[in-house]
Amino acid sequence: MARDLEIRPGRLTLGTLRELEGAKTRFVLSEDARAAIRASKRVLDQAIEGGRRIYGVTTGAGPLAGQVIGRDLMGEMQRRLVLSNAVGVGAPLSPGVTRRVMLLKIATLAAGASGVGEALADRLVAMLNADLLPVIPAKGSVGASGDLAPLAHLGVCLLGEGDAYLRGERMPAARALAEVGLAPLVLEPKEGLAIVNGTQVSTALAIEGLFLAESHLAAALACGALSVEAGSGTAAAFDPRIHDLRAQIGQAAVADVLRTWLAGSGIQADRPVARVQDPYSLRCMPQVMGAVLDQIAHVASILGRELRAVTDNPLIDPASGDLLFGGNFHAQPVGMVADNLALALAETGSMSERRTAFLVDQGMSGLPAFLVAEAGLNTGFMVAQVTAAALASENKAMAHPGSIDSIPTAANQEDYVSMATYAARRLGDMAENLGAILAIELLAAAQGLDLRRPLRSSPALEALHGELRETVPAWDEDRYFAPDVDAARAVLASGAAMTPEARAVLPSFGAA
């Protein structure tokens, strides 16, 4: 269903961005945003007319800040700045991430601290509403003076250069603009700099990683609860008295969710394999996944602030008329929380893989070897667990922090950078791996539950099992395995793991 979203200064939230997922939205620039943009533009124009020396406006940019630019060449300098900064390489950003980049850029301009004209903000709004998206190569930013290269590709599209997607079809940007009745934009002083400065690409990528981490955490708890049942584990480890004594918020919340999944289980009432204590991959889910939840909550808090931030330079204070020169474009806050998300994704996958390994191990789970009858003739889930192990190991390697790295650029003017864009970009690959790891666990746990019949699990877990079995039959003998993984991924992606009880706990931390 279509909806309208008014873009107002400082009002964008993660909750709003979540609501936009999968919805057709018409964007409108609010009147208070227009007033703020006009006020900062007046201050800039007065400073230029007064002969002020303004970085990137009346001077060159970066190490060329000593070069003075004449009034008649200021707009041309902005055009050339955009063109020369558009040095991105690699595959394009996804349409969803690109839309977020554009929305975040509009939101930062709407704050009225960038000195741009209304025409620039209006053009970005018009492009979003027409589903006209720039082709933005994903690689080429160090996350310091803004995401210079990728944001410049947004800028070249405004100029009618480069390529764009119009309603999903790739074509030259000039043609796309013409088809929706827009002319190439002529940049005013400061506008090229306002386009390329900012953390919008790294932030959009990190937000994508955040939303994936949230959904995968919900899926991991559902799969983990089903593994407890299939493996004849005990819910005793999720007793709230245990977690109250730890006083960790995420841990207690995860234990709550696991208890709701297991409520009413017949297996808990009549466990076929009784152990004194379960392995950590079952017993310590609240402690480990709770720590993951706490990290995700911290990330949501930081990114919730960043998407309302103004990360341009120089900045303008219309109240005083001051021009403020600083470094808000430095993306270290985004890079560090992207690294936290990488740890969360890697840990979630590592623990899931261990639960799958537990289930296929006859000596540990008490189930048939590799979850299949006639082992030997059949190998069952043997290599499915190998695939999960390979993906978990790959995620561990990718979890190495990106934000700890720095490489000087721009003739040492930009001598300490954040690498936030890479730190955030790799989250998509990690989430893709994690989705497959969890799908394999779901398949293994569902098979284990079948092998426990006639015992019945909880109503909630039986419903999840039933949804999987609508597309994936039980494993009686070896067959082509990969389609089952794809089908299980689809079940988890459908939101089957996000029960009302889980939803009450898990998304609430990201509403900021």
pLDDT digits (tens, 9 = 90+) for 78-133: 999 999 999 999 999 999 999 999 999 999 999 999 999 999 999 999 999 999 99
What ranges in 159-308 are assigned the alpha helix state H? 173-179, 191-196, 200-230, 240-244, 249-262, 266-269, 280-283, 285-306
Examine residue 318 and say whether the peptide bond preceding it is cis (omega within 30 degrees of 0): no
User: Does residue 452 or residue 55 have the better pLDDT?
Assistant: 452
Place of tokens 């017949």: 266
Q: What is the mean pLDDT of residues 211-228?
A: 96
**Top mean-pLDDT range of 138-142, 319-323, 480-484:** 480-484
Catalytic residue chosen out of the listed positions 55, 165, 280, 416:
55
Please indicate, yes or no, whether residues 369 and 457 belong to a single structural domain of this protein. yes
CATH number of the domain that 505 lies in? Answer: 1.20.200.10
- Asked if residue 215 and residue 181 are part of one domain, the reply reads no
Please check whether residue 208 is in contact with residue 96, taking contact to mean a CB–CB distance below 8 angstroms. Answer: yes
- Of 180, 198, 216, the position where a domain reaches its end is 198
What is the residue range of 278's domain? 205-510
Which of 198, 230, 261 marks a domain boundary? 198
Strands 322-324 and 132-134, by their bridges, are unpaired
Same domain as 383, residue 302: yes
Least confident of 187-196, 287-296, 503-512: 503-512
| 221 shares a domain with 189 | no
291 close to 337: Cβ distance less than 8 angstroms: no
> Structure pTM?
0.94
Does 172 share its domain with 224? no
Answer for the pair 135, 409: CB distance below 8 angstroms, yes or no.
Answer: no
Give yes or no: residues 126 and 216 share one domain: no
Tell which residue, 25, 24, 424, 23, has the closest CA to residue 208: 424
Q: What is the CATH number of the domain that holds 51?
A: 1.10.275.10
Asked whether residue 507 carries a pLDDT value surpassing 70, the answer given is no
Are 91 and 211 found together in one domain? Answer: no
- Rounded to 5 degrees, what are φ and ψ at 387? -60, -45
H-helix or E-strand spanning residue 165: strand 163-166
Is residue 55 among the annotated active site residues? yes
Does residue 512 carry a pLDDT above 50?
A: no
Where b means 16+ CB within 10 Å and e means fewer, 315-334 reads: bbebeeeebeeeebbbbbbb
What is the tens place of the pLDDT at every residue in 466-498?
A: 999 999 999 999 999 999 999 999 999 998 887
Which residue type sits at 43?
V
Same domain membership, residue 26 and residue 151 = yes
Domain match, 209 and 180 both: no
Q: What is the pLDDT of residue 131?
A: 95
Tokens of 138: 């994903």
% of the chain residues with pLDDT over 90: 79
Do the Cβ atoms of 149 and 114 come closer than 8 Å?
A: no
Number of domains in the chain: 2
* Cβ partners under 8 Å of residue 314, min gap 6: 54, 55, 56, 57, 323, 324, 325, 326
Quote the percentage of the chain above a pLDDT of 70. 96
Q: Which of 166, 198, 230 is the last residue of a domain?
A: 198
Asked if 22 and 171 sit in the same domain, the reply is yes
Whether residue 400 sits in one domain with residue 273: yes
Q: How far is CA 449 from CA 259, 310, 368, in A?
A: 18, 52, 12
The answer on 210 and 112 residing in a single domain is no
Residue 163 and residue 52 in contact, taking contact as beta carbons nearer than 8 Å? no
